[in-house]
A and B are shown apart, each in its own frame.
Chain A
Amino acid sequence: MDTLTKTIDAHEIRPPVTSVGVIGWIRANLFNSVFNSILSVVTLFFLWKTVPPLVQWAFIDSAWMTNSQACQQGAGACWSIVTSNLRFILFGFYPQELQWRPLAAMLMLFGLLFYSRDRKHWSKALGYGWIIGLALMGILMTGGIFGLTHVESTQWGGLPLTLLLAVFGLTAAYPLGVILALGRRSKMPAVKIMSILYIELIRGVPLISLLFMSSIILPLFLPEGITINKILRAQVAIILFTAAYIAEVVRGGLQGISRGQYEAAESLGLNYYLTMRRIILPQALKIVIPPTVSILISAFKDTSLVAIIALFDILRTTQTVLSNPQWMGFSREAYVFIGLLYFLGCFSMSNYSRKLEKELSTGR
């Protein structure tokens, strides 16, 4: 019998309890060094001080469906400001009895957007679906035909207005931005100079000033009697503004494509349009998805600036509710609510861009 080896019992030897499971994770991640330990303790203390009172305020003591008097007396959050004024916050001055129309239009929009998420669904049929859907949405909002009462666009407001400005703004700004980026890189001097001028002028002013100009100064230049719809003016300002930023981001992407790609395309006999459409832009636009989505998310939130020119988007309707003496003082709750709405929108865009990037990566 070999005296140097010893057979050990074949039962399973488990690792010590302090190195696996929950305790193990805590040790490894929260307390693995002096600095981290202190940080963890400080953070836990901070959470202990803030989370329970927050939960108390937001959920336990809160009022959800009461009137404003009960809210004043209560100590918790007054979500009733949202629930009592929900229709005004969401729809603005749109006639109460007709609010099913903007609601239907929004549901249609969400449906189309959701269906368009999957690139496999992209086809000519979907394109036609969008055109018809948009037309229907327009009819629902405006009315005037098919027995629907006419509703002036001055009465449009709330979430439909925000979505309208955002969806049209972003989808028009993107191709315009790409064209500007290509123009800026063009060898034709006129095109190049015009593109540079556009981009630098627009980037040099805040969106607010563009909105002011479109809503106050532009009408001064128009001939007597001709007015352009205010929403349209704001929409154009948003499109022009966002396009300038997209242009610069796309230009960065174009610069990142190696000369070899252009040369290979040229050697195959592809002309400028084909080279851009089939070779260069697919690669460049893919690379700049992250900064592009940042710009689009910003633009989505910037639609709130139209409050300045008296368009009643969701921010302005909320502010209007708050100016009501009954509900004054509950701005926290109101802004948390629309903050959540904006967050939902922005997070969906962000999420989708991640999904898109993953789909498009071809093992480069």
Chain B
Amino acid sequence: MNTEAKTEAVSNPGLGSMIEITDLHKWFGEFHVLQGINLTVQKQERIVVCGPSGSGKSTLIRCINRLEEHQKGRIVVDGIELTNNIKNIEKVRAEVGMVFQHFNLFPHLSILDNLTLGPLWVRKIPKKQAEEAAMHYLEKVHIAEQAKKYPGQLSGGQQQRVAIARSLCMNPKVMLFDEPTSALDPEMIKEVLDVMIDLAREGMTMIVVTHEMGFAKSVAHRVLFMDYGKIVEGNTPEEFFSHPRHERTKLFLSQILH
């Protein structure tokens, strides 16, 4: 059975690759969670990864910014290879933004401070400049009026939008989304997806682990299906949803609303 991801042409070919993953393997103890992943993500490409829980999709994207360490294979982000070299890891993390399922805002800091923390202390940007940039991104995610509040005072959808703004303040080249709307009430999912669609329109390279197939259909260049640590199938959204090739993909699609 052909388990390699089918890579289709991206809408902007020739920009070069942002992420190259070659023969990636990862074990959690004895559990072989990633079994030989091969994936190339072009600049400005948008990928949606879906699959049943335990398939390794979160682990895959967490390997890209070294929240998880891989044991075998290569990951290269914007020309920098991810190894044990701390300097490289820090360089990669400066280019890669991450949005978590449970937001992970810093509850003891105001929204504005949440956003300016990275720029102030990692990029060493002067305070005034950092705050102006932060307000700009807060306006972008339509939440500027909450700047002085604390995360505990915001709703889930608002917190997730703040989390996206926080990542954007570091000017990343790639944004990773780990089930960004899975912890949200249905009425808040739209406001977050709208922000992500705006980001997509501006040409951000994005890898999104999600079950929101509407989002996949509207902005993804490719949809990948993962199961048991392998990329089973990958295709343009049109092809993926209308003509799934593998049995497992068909089974999965029948189980989720799309």
Most B CB atoms within 10 A — which of A261, A267, A274, A286? A267
Asked whether A307 is an interface residue with its Cβ less than 8 Å from the other chain, the reply is no
Minimum CB–CB distance for A89 against chain B, Å: 44
B-binding segment of A146-154, A276-284, A340-348: A276-284
**How many angstroms from the CA of A260 to the CA of B102 in the assembled complex?**
8
Q: Select B93's contact among A266, A274, A278, beta carbons within 8 Å.
A: A266
Instruction: Count B interface residues, CB 8 Å.
Output: 26
Q: Select B121's contact among A261, A263, A278, A283, beta carbons within 8 Å.
A: A278
Known: A268-B170, A270-B122, A274-B122. A263 touches B104 (CB 8 A): yes
**How many angstroms from the CA of A260 to the CA of B153 in the assembled complex?**
19
Contact A362 B121 (CB under 8 A): no
Contact A269 B104 (CB under 8 A): no
Minimum CB–CB distance for B90 against chain A, Å: 6
Asked whether B196 is an interface residue with its Cβ less than 8 Å from the other chain, the reply is no
Contact A363 B150 (CB under 8 A): yes
A-binding segment of B33-41, B73-81, B105-113, B240-248: B105-113
**How many angstroms from the CA of A350 to the CA of B186 in the assembled complex?**
45
Q: Select B150's contact among A266, A267, A362, beta carbons within 8 Å.
A: A362
Contact A283 B118 (CB under 8 A): no
CB neighbours (8 Å) of A286 from chain B are 108
How does the 8 Å CB contact mask read for B59-79 relative to A, with 1 for contact and 0 for none? 000000111000000000000
Q: Select B90's contact among A269, A278, A279, A363, beta carbons within 8 Å.
A: A269
Asked whether A209 is an interface residue with its Cβ less than 8 Å from the other chain, the reply is no
Contact A267 B107 (CB under 8 A): no
Within 8 A of B (CB), among A214-268: 258, 260-261, 263-264, 266-268
Within 8 A of A (CB), among B98-153: 98, 100, 102, 104-108, 117-118, 121-122, 150, 152-153
CB neighbours (8 Å) of B65 from chain A are 266-267
A-B contacts, 24 of them at CB < 8 A, read: A258-B104, A261-B104, A261-B106, A264-B100, A264-B104, A266-B65, A266-B67, A266-B93, A268-B93, A268-B117, A268-B122, A268-B166, A268-B167, A270-B117, A270-B121, A270-B122, A278-B117, A278-B121, A279-B117, A286-B108, A362-B150, A363-B150, A364-B107, A364-B150
